[in-house]
Structure 1
Amino acid sequence: MEIPTIQWVITIVVILGLLAYDFFFHVRKAHEPTLKEAAIWSSVYVGIALLFGLLILGFDGTTYAAEYYGGYITEKALSVDNLFVFLIIMASFKVPREDQQKVLLFGIIFALIARTVFIFVGAAAINRWSALFYIFGLFLVYTAGKLIKGEVTSGSESDEGNNFMVRLAKRFLHTTDHYDGDKLFTIQNGKRALTPMLLVMVAIGATDILFALDSIPAIFGLTQEVYIVFTATAFSLMGLRQLYFLIDGLLDRLIYLSWGLAIILGFIGVKLILHALHENNLSFINNGEHVPVYEVGIQLSLTVIVGVLVVTVLASLYSPKGRALRVIQGSEKAAVDYLDLPEDASEEERTRLAEKLRSYEEKLPKVSQKHRDDLIESETHFHDVLTRARGAQERHADR
């Protein structure tokens, strides 16, 4: 696939333009995006990515288009998994909701830089040593195994918010414990100091590097065309900020996402190993000759990836455990929302939330004790929130 320089330049300019637009028209002024704003812009970025795939289809044919879409969907799925960690990092640093957009945009930019470096380094290494496919494949299979065992998780708040890079920054640099708007530096006791805003960006930047170690081998398992790898990766990161706010409440409902990603990474890992055997030049394997094995085509890869993701989402939302989680989370959120109502809240809003809470509470007895034990972090806290919400409703009714 020969890509002229002008096409590379135009592609990079478009991507940089989208990032610049995001910053100047959305992120520069600190605010929490509405659900409507997040939905519209998430759709816009997905539309741009799909349209780009159609351009590849028109100019380069179905094979490259399928490789692009396969890479885009895989990277998008991995990016959604990354959002779990971003959510935990920002919770551990208690980042104000209105400032989270800036942190996310930084994470996206840093992720794009890190992945671009890995893409070109990986492409150069593959061209010089095709046996690297063995390493990529085994690494993905190993990562899939760790996901299944639960060893690769979003981690605890303290773990993600206190990683090695953050500990170094806190040890050797003067830092504060409070935010100063969205500033990275502030003045404390007459001295210039780092704010937690900079530390959370360091934490996300360090995490992005680890994410790249998984995502780049995965997409190289679908295509070795550098241009497709780069564009699929870049467009999968575009709109990730809006997606965060759009599915924030749904992220922890995707309880089987790790299983889905494990199957996808394991499948791509096996695909890479089969490709490495087919192209084999290692003397200790079949005397350096090619091994006649079945090679997985891109159409089958795309079908498996999409199928696994669809099953994963449906199982997460509609399995007994998924339904139990929806009831438990819905009950707690409705209770908290009612408790947070201002004194001058309308009767219509109070009635709506009270009915919503009552609807969820009617379903709670149907949740098995096993699911309650698995999904409720603190039974005492859970019941306390519900009890206080009921009490607030009774006090308001007695007025």
Structure 2
Amino acid sequence: MKPQSILKFLTLILFFFTVPASLFAQVMLQGKVLDAESRKPITNASVYFNNTQIGSVTNDKGQFKLYAPRLYNDLVISAVGYERAIVNVAESNSSYTVLLKEKANNLMEVRISSGKNNWQKWGDLFFRLLLGKNNHITSSFKILNPEDIKFYYDEQDHYLEAHSDKAILIKNSLLDYTIHLDIEDFTYNIVDDELNYNSAAYFEGINKIDKRRQLILSNNYLGSKMHFYRSLYSKTLESENFRLYRYHSVKNLKKESVSRTVQLYRIKKMAAGAKGDELLKLSDNRDSAAYYKKILLQDDVLKWDTTQVDYRQYLAYDSLNHKMTFKFSDTLMVVYRRSFDANLGLFRSHVGNAQQATRVVELKTLLYLTNKDGVQLDPSGFCLPNAILMTGNMGDRRLAEHLPYDYVNSP
């Protein structure tokens, strides 16, 4: 063998031993981010696959490069002062040029310009709406940059808006990871208790795994939307302790009316600056408060019935795009069976593994489809478009219990 050939051979061997083996199993995505008008590069723009741990920032030339075990649907690009862009990634393309438009002053910014409605007044409500109501879980979370979040409360129509030009940084001190959350169009209808917002999330540091972290993350995963969607896609719903039912009910309209009255009373107190126990009251009138308390203890429905169904009838597989369509017309109820440790206040894993559990509970969620075409699922548990409304257990599991799409459950 010639000296030049030997040198090339040794160089090749050195390359294979020095390049991390994980790169060979990954795909690479690259591109550049430019100002839409000037075509100048945008430095330090965040680039990440939505709701994953896979992300980067642009360099001084506006360039970025990402490595991932697979391609996810939405590539998010955001920068301060610009409108967020979401690129639907195609497997046939590995290079992108993204043009960001400058943000124009919108109505929300005009409304909050006075600084009248601030974090001290609305922060607690915003935190619960975003993270969830489970204090055992949310107690380890903290919003690191509350000063970047601005609020507007409409006193006539009783809705709250929130806005932030920067990503909201949410730290989980227990598990030592941070969620970078870009939110848009955050609106909460207080009387109807309806929350709507668009968001994109990047998880930083959640992949630091040890046994304790695995147990907590697995606890969040089991029975979640992600778990449900992945089980649907793989057609393992029943073996994963889920059951699906057709659902019909007669609502308790009196309780709904009282709930709206109490909700409106409390939000007026909050707008006036009330804190603590003042916000727990049901009414200033003692007799009304006693009546409301009695009604609120009633069930949400007066009667209901269910019929178990075969979930496979609602599924259609698209082999070309590796997507599963989930389509139904009736209201469905999902029941997930888990064991519950009353002493720790924690759900454990599957029923069969819960030797120390005190009881088995059935976690119920109602599903409503908002369009006629159904939704598309992919293997990661991503739902496209997000057109399923959920009320009940899975609907109540908010950001504090969410996991990135590249999370792999290892209980």
Higher relative contact order (CA 8 A, sep 6+): 1
Which TM-score band applies after superposition, normalised by the shorter structure? under 0.3
More strand by share: 2
TM-score normalised per structure 2: 0.20
Q: Between Structure 1 and Structure 2, which shows a larger proportion of helix residues?
A: 1
